[in-house]
Chains A and B, each alone.
Chain A
């Protein structure tokens, strides 16, 4: 039992060192495996989903899941720690948007000022349908030759 605990602890420390060598007091340390992944697969899945939806603001078309920028690494650490601390995905997104603005999310929130972005595809489909219908009706009246 003690041996197992020691192995787990060592794995935790090893995973931690791979990830962020400078801050040994980070609470996320024990929840990481040797590859720097969260031990709990459900948390790791949420971690991947959340970080894919957060923009790396240093290199604006990459997500923090993909980016090698130092800041992206710090933000991944933040997400991991908040997940381990039991925060919801919404808590994490709120933390990020409070600091970096809506631009940090790849999917913008539905608000009056973003109505155009969310509404445009539907509008275009309706508008296109309307034109197709008009043309079809006109053609229906044309004589067949």
Chain B
């Protein structure tokens, strides 16, 4: 009996392991964000366009909004930019940009200004994170990363890498509609 059952049990265990482990839909580099369902980290930063002005998400409480972390040093962000422009033209939700100065230099601010002038500005407001602290609070590992915050101020979705029209339609729009239906 053992001679038959033991290999069979081992075989079943392997089948289960492979079914999970080799699933082609599973992205082994994807990291679940611990932020999902939690209150969005609050920030108050200077504006990219005006160092004396501030951008904060405190004033957005009660609204559904998108937060996009980017930087001019990030090639994927350039890929993403046209999609963000198209999305902003739909006027569905405010898109807050956080320009991440990865080397803590102020030069990034100038480059970001140029970027927005030359390529267009999809953001309702653009904050400048010079010391990288806000980006750490949001658990960002590599730009671009895009978050969706609901009307209760909770992070409900995070997308890593460049947002495309398709991603916007299939991942963001249904969640935005659901968040609004939920009375926010």
Q: Interface digits, A44-61 against B, CB 8 Å rule (1 contact, 0 not)?
A: 000000000000011010
Q: Is the CB of B35 within 8 A of A99?
A: yes
From A8-16, A29-37, A70-78, A85-93, give the one contacting chain B. Answer: A70-78
B114: interface (CB < 8 Å) = no
Known: A99-B35, A100-B34. A20 touches B104 (CB 8 A): yes
B: which residues have CB within 8 A of A?
29, 31-35, 101-106, 130-133, 135-139, 141-142
Complex CA–CA separation, A71 to B29 (angstroms): 18
A: which residues have CB within 8 A of B?
20-23, 57-58, 60, 70-71, 74-75, 78, 97-101, 103
Q: Is the CB of A22 within 8 A of B131?
A: yes
Choose from B31, B130, B136, B142 the contact partner of A22 (Cβ within 8 Å).
B130
Main secondary structure on chain B at its contact with chain A?
loop
Closest to B103 in A: A70
How close is B182's CB to chain A, nearest CB, in angstroms? 25
User: How many pairs of residues, A versus B, come closer than 8 Å at their CB atoms?
Assistant: 52
Known: A99-B136, A99-B139. A22 touches B105 (CB 8 A): yes
Inter-chain contacts of A101 with B (CB < 8 A): 31-34, 139
Q: Is the CB of B33 within 8 A of A58?
A: no
Complex CA–CA separation, A71 to B73 (angstroms): 14
Q: Is the CB of A98 within 8 A of B34?
A: yes
Complex CA–CA separation, A97 to B104 (angstroms): 24
User: 14 more A-B contacts (CB under 8 A) besides A70-B132, A101-B33?
Assistant: A22-B106, A23-B131, A60-B29, A71-B141, A71-B142, A74-B135, A97-B34, A99-B35, A99-B138, A99-B139, A100-B139, A100-B141, A101-B32, A103-B31
